[in-house]
Structure 1
């Protein structure tokens, strides 16, 4: 062994000893070990405590039972709401219910700017491969069919994991209707069913939605154990009429908005309590005034309050106060991104909307145009462009809102210096 090797081994041993000494001294002082942050701000991050949305989950459970036990294909469920209210997470909860209660897999597709039908057809083909090629058994058993390409998350017949299938390698490609039919035939042969979840449906084209609606309407009389659940921005409501097929218009629509006070408090305090560092009521009160029941903001607030309370056995009002600047800065990045994406004229429209919102709960396009000193018809294109971008949305009552709660206040402050 060379002298360099001996020196290296000795140096490594010393470093290990130092680290061990620091670790044991850290433990000896009684300093609490690190606790993972239980809050999960970000896209499609399932919260530790899923609060509220009982109406949606009850409707989903009923649809699954109708399909599984009554031999009928129920109406699709359509969840509409602004970004950050938990639409994707709620789809995940419905998927979990399908797996746990009925051992059904889920085919999930996020609608891009094109080829929704192609993606859905491919993933249905993967589901058919799962039904055809997997042996029943207990959890973690059975053969896993593995191809290549797009992923379908599966939990069926005791099987967990994914099935992958490549695009463009099928020598006899099938239409969406034919693929759905063959997939459901394979599911029935297994005594199973299928949940299909579609996210960001507002991105799909009218032609794609009409093809999807036509296939579903045509196959409903076949009484498959099939449930469709869809999530989209509120702009999907504006497609009703020529752009949205009748079958989807008659779906079961569920608007998702900010959480009521009770559910918001549960979502905020629940993760802290479950993780051994409960949140004081006055700390929760302070944070809730900043979040407005907006699910994403709740996760942000909890995240920074937890960080501020490091080393403590509780989250106090003092910790919450220390966290407020970080919470504000984090949320303002959302507003700034939307603002910078807007043109000069679009910013004028957003400024007028924010100003009117300070006195009118649900301003309409005419009131915003009046605040701009313009005729409604001359600025309606700005409204439509901002809706298409996902910066604002129109509620079922026709009122205009910012897609992210709190942005109106930020715009008023930002534009007044």
Structure 2
């Protein structure tokens, strides 16, 4: 079939032709916005899940819903930046949101006050000790200038929330890869949203991240579990997986045989990204607008090769030899979460020796801890990939410290 008509989108964060199986989350987000706009409190949310389950796609859908409801959207992908760069990124986005809420020439007293608090938030001292500002609005005094990220961001979001409420609008802060926020940054966001909830302001923070983010949020602020819901999204159930595979094809006039769908769902195990990748490869092989089981079988090799060279490989390439060995040992033990002591035994070490390696892999977003003492891959089927990519488990030699002279 013509590749130009291929309806599948195996790209990071790319929205599929149809968003299947996420109705509960989108409905919850719509209720969240409506309640906040009416001055009623509602828990914000942080979506968690493994790689490839559609967290970014869902955030993109939330962005469309928010803009359609007349809300301003602040959105970015978190990365490991120092607080100053995080502050700069927020300032730039919040400044744009404020100007969209109301042009400068039409600012009310609340709009101007929000701008002044934003200016105070942006002021910084460079190495020479001189003051610099990012726009020509004089900074407020005593608001947004405490030098504490949490207190400053609380002042900013409160002021902008008041300006938004006056305009009958709201501000939605959507952040992807939340697990990469520094503890101070996550704490500041939670603290500031807590205050806007108390003030009944139309401001919300919705994040998406790997499964460990729920624990990180709780560590940042003990009340996070009451401030947020933590919906976890996973692979699609059988019916939704079939729909996600067949509906895009049907829109282009192509039909799957029943046994072809059975095999495709079995291969992908219902993971949305895998469905898009397999569907894409099958489309390029099939002929005459009818997709057979043989087409799916023939496409499987190209599907696995594409996943290995991109989705999986890019993560393995960042690992050190010892980190690679740790993940290979986990794969040797099976797809389930693995106990740290069992992995250490395979690598001929004890758990304390490998504790730093395990922590590094968690910080890199390659592992998470579903329960105490256990670790699991954040990427579905990564164990199978490790067995293919590293056919033999090589135990690295123990690096012994040189004795002090």
Which TM-score bucket, shorter chain as reference? 0.7 to 0.9
**Pairs aligned (count):** 349
Q: Pick from 295, 301, 310: which aligns with 1:319? A: 295
1:414 positional shift: 3.7
Which residues of 2 match residues 223-262 of structure 1 at below 5 A?
223-240=200-217, 242=219, 244-250=220-226, 251-262=228-239
Q: Pick from 351, 363, 367: which aligns with 1:392? A: 367
Residues 396/91 of structure 1: CA separation in 2 closer, same or farther (3 Å cut): farther
Tell me the residue number matched to 2:12.
43
The 1-side partners of 2:380 and 2:2 are apart by 36
The 2-side partners of 1:112 and 1:35 are apart by 35
1:110 positional shift: 1.7
Q: Pick from 55, 58, 78: which aligns with 2:24? A: 55
Tell me the residue number matched to 2:47.
79
Instruction: Give the secondary-structure state (helix, strand or coil) at the position aligned to 1:227.
Output: strand
Q: Pick from 353, 356, 361: which aligns with 2:330? A: 353
Given the two structures, how large is their TM-score scaled by the length of structure 2?
Answer: 0.79
Unaligned runs of 5+ in 2: 106-132, 145-151, 393-405
Deviations 1:113-160 (A, max 9, x none): 22333322321221111111299xxxxxxxxxxxxxxxxxxxxxxxxx
Tell me the residue number matched to 1:152.
none
> CA RMSD, aligned part only?
2.5
Tell me the residue number matched to 2:91.
121
Q: Does 1:295 align with 2:286?
A: no
Instruction: Give the secondary-structure state (helix, strand or coil) at the position aligned to 1:197.
Output: strand
Residues 54/67 of structure 1: CA separation in 2 closer, same or farther (3 Å cut): same
Tell me the residue number matched to 1:272.
249
Tell me the residue number matched to 1:169.
135
1:235 positional shift: 3.4
The 1-side partners of 2:136 and 2:192 are apart by 21
Deviations 1:220-270 (A, max 9, x none): 22101222211112232453555x223434321112222222222111111
Q: Does 1:378 align with 2:348?
A: no
1:79 positional shift: 0.8
Which residues of 2 match residues 330-349 of structure 1 at below 5 A?
330-333=306-309, 334-349=311-326
1:168 positional shift: 1.9
Residues 248/37 of structure 1: CA separation in 2 closer, same or farther (3 Å cut): same
Residues 322/373 of structure 1: CA separation in 2 closer, same or farther (3 Å cut): same
Deviations 1:165-204 (A, max 9, x none): xx82344355433432332233222222222211111111
1:300 positional shift: 0.5
Which residues of 2 match residues 116-265 of structure 1 at below 5 A?
116-133=86-103, 168-173=134-139, 175-240=152-217, 242=219, 244-250=220-226, 251-265=228-242
Residues 262/134 of structure 1: CA separation in 2 closer, same or farther (3 Å cut): farther
Residues 397/51 of structure 1: CA separation in 2 closer, same or farther (3 Å cut): farther
Residues 34/87 of structure 1: CA separation in 2 closer, same or farther (3 Å cut): closer
Instruction: Give the secondary-structure state (helix, strand or coil) at the position aligned to 2:230.
Output: strand
Residues 99/336 of structure 1: CA separation in 2 closer, same or farther (3 Å cut): closer
Deviations 1:31-82 (A, max 9, x none): x97752111111120011111123322322221222123x123222001122
**Contact kept in structure 2, 1:117 and 1:212, CA below 8 Å:** no
The 1-side partners of 2:372 and 2:234 are apart by 14
Deviations 1:278-312 (A, max 9, x none): 22222222222221222111110111111112x51
Q: Pick from 380, 385, 396: which aligns with 1:410? A: 385
Tell me the residue number matched to 2:127.
none
Q: Does 1:94 align with 2:62?
A: yes
The 2-side partners of 1:116 and 1:45 are apart by 25
Given the two structures, how large is their TM-score scaled by the length of structure 1?
Answer: 0.77
The 2-side partners of 1:134 and 1:322 are apart by 60
The 1-side partners of 2:97 and 2:294 are apart by 52
**Contact kept in structure 2, 1:121 and 1:176, CA below 8 Å:** no
**Contact kept in structure 2, 1:79 and 1:87, CA below 8 Å:** yes
